[in-house]
Amino acid sequence: MNLLPQTKKNLKYAFTPKSVAVIGASREPGKVGHVILQNYIDGGYSGRLYPVNKNADSVMGLKCYKSVLDIKKSVDLAVIALPAPVVPGVLEECGKAGVKSAVVVSGGFAEVGNADLQEEIVKIAKKYNIAMIGPNCLGVVDPRSRVDTLFLPTYKLSKPKIGGVSFVAQSGAVGSVVLDLIAKEGFGISKFISYGNAAYVDEVDILEYLMHDNETKVIVMYIEGVNRGKDFIEIAKKITKVKPVVIIKGGMTAEGGVAAHSHTAAIAGSSEAYDAVFRQFGFSQAKDLSELLHFAKIFDSEPLPKGNRIAIITNGGGMGVLTTDEVYINGFVLSDFSNDTKSKLRAVMPQIVNIRNPLDLAGDADEERYGKALDLVTKDPNVDMVIVIILFQTPGADSSVAEKVISYKEVSDKPMIVISVGTDYTQMHKTMMESAGLPVYDSPAAATRSLAELLKYAKYLSRKN
Instruction: List the one residue from 79, 110, 245, 421 that touches a second copy (CB under 8 A).
Output: 421
Q: Does 109 bind a second copy (CB under 8 A)?
A: no
CB of 42 to a second copy, least distance (A): 16
Coil/strand/helix, residue 285? strand
The per-residue DSSP string of 151-219 comes to: -S-GGGS----EEEEEEEES-HHHHHHHHHHHTTSS--EEEEEE-TT-SSS-HHHHHHHHHH-TT-SEE
**Given the complex with a second copy, which of 169 and 210 has the nearer CB atom?**
169
Which range touches a second copy (CB under 8 A), out of 10-18, 70-78, 139-147, 437-445? 437-445
Which range touches a second copy (CB under 8 A), out of 120-128, 233-241, 376-384, 417-425? 417-425
The per-residue DSSP string of 48-88 comes to: EEEEE-TT-SEETTEE-BSSGGGT-S--SEEEE-S-GGGHH
Instruction: List the one residue from 19, 106, 170, 197 that touches a second copy (CB under 8 A).
Output: 170
Q: Does 428 bind a second copy (CB under 8 A)?
A: no
Q: Does 115 bind a second copy (CB under 8 A)?
A: no
Which residues are paired to 311 by β-bridges? Answer: 386
**Given the complex with a second copy, which of 28 and 57 has the nearer CB atom?**
28
Nearest to 321 by CA among 358, 284, 351, 278: 358
Q: Does 324 bind a second copy (CB under 8 A)?
A: yes
Contacts 24+ apart (CB under 8 A), 265-268: 265/109, 265/110, 265/111, 265/115, 265/197, 266/170, 266/198, 266/223, 266/224, 266/225, 267/225, 268/224, 268/225
Which 379-408 residues touch a second copy, going by CB under 8 A?
391-395, 397
**Given the complex with a second copy, which of 73 and 184 has the nearer CB atom?**
184
Q: Does 437 bind a second copy (CB under 8 A)?
A: no
**Given the complex with a second copy, which of 121 and 174 has the nearer CB atom?**
174
User: Which positions ≥6 away from 327 have C-beta within 8 Å?
Assistant: 310, 312, 333, 334, 448
Instruction: List the one residue from 45, 363, 375, 456 that touches a second copy (CB under 8 A).
Output: 363
Cβ–Cβ under 8 Å, residues 174 and 182: no
Q: Does 156 bind a second copy (CB under 8 A)?
A: yes
**Given the complex with a second copy, which of 205 and 224 has the nearer CB atom?**
224
| CA pair distance 436, 447, nearest whole angstrom | 18
Which 191-230 residues touch a second copy, going by CB under 8 A?
222, 224
Coil/strand/helix, residue 98? coil
- Phi then psi for residue 159, to 5 deg, are -110, 140
Instruction: List the one residue from 86, 273, 329, 347 that touches a second copy (CB under 8 A).
Output: 329
Instruction: List the one residue from 43, 229, 307, 317 that touches a second copy (CB under 8 A).
Output: 317
Q: Does 86 bind a second copy (CB under 8 A)?
A: no
**CA distances to 17, 42, 71, 75, 425 from 13, in Å:** 5, 21, 17, 9, 44
CB of 37 to a second copy, least distance (A): 15
Instruction: List the one residue from 425, 431, 436, 437 that touches a second copy (CB under 8 A).
Output: 425
Which 284-313 residues touch a second copy, going by CB under 8 A?
287-290
How many residues bind a second copy (CB under 8 A)? The answer is 84
Q: Does 87 bind a second copy (CB under 8 A)?
A: no
What is the pattern of x (binds a second copy, CB under 8 A) and - over residues 224-263?
Answer: x-----------------------x-xxxxxxx-xxx-xx
Q: Does 264 bind a second copy (CB under 8 A)?
A: yes
CB of 170 to a second copy, least distance (A): 7
Instruction: List the one residue from 423, 462, 463, 465 that touches a second copy (CB under 8 A).
Output: 423
| CA pair distance 367, 391, nearest whole angstrom | 13
Residue 416: CB atoms within 10 A of its CB come to 25
